[in-house]
Amino acid sequence: MWIDFLNSRGRDYWASLYSYSVFAGTDSNFHIWIDMNEPSVFTGPEGTMPKTNRHVIPLKEPLQVLHRDVHNVYGLLMTMATH
């Protein structure tokens, strides 16, 4: 299962996992290593989530995008949600 970082609820959930209250005794010098920044599927031919998978961006009119079109955005949104 992968968190859909294109969905604001997914980003909010992820961010809640990294709040200071979760890591008691930490401060702003605490760092987290987010290694992959992309869904990996090592048994697949592409080594990543199939590029034809769809993400749904929950707007007023939901927008569907292919993973191949947002492959790098996934890592950016993961980093932003972690920060």
pLDDT in tens, 29-42: 777 787 767 766 77
Centroid of chain to Cα 39: 8
Are 43 and 37 in contact, with CB atoms under 8 Å apart? no
Could you write out the DSSP letters of every residue in 8-57? HHHHHHHHHHTSTTTSTT--TT--------S---TTSTTSSS-TT-EEEE
Distance CA 26, CA 34 (A): 18
* pTM of the model as a whole: 0.67
Higher-scoring residue by pLDDT: 71, 5: 5
pLDDT tens-digit profile of 25-81? 777 777 778 776 776 677 767 777 777 888 888 778 888 888 888 877 888 888 889
Q: If you ran DSSP here, which 8-state letter would residue 7 be given? A: S
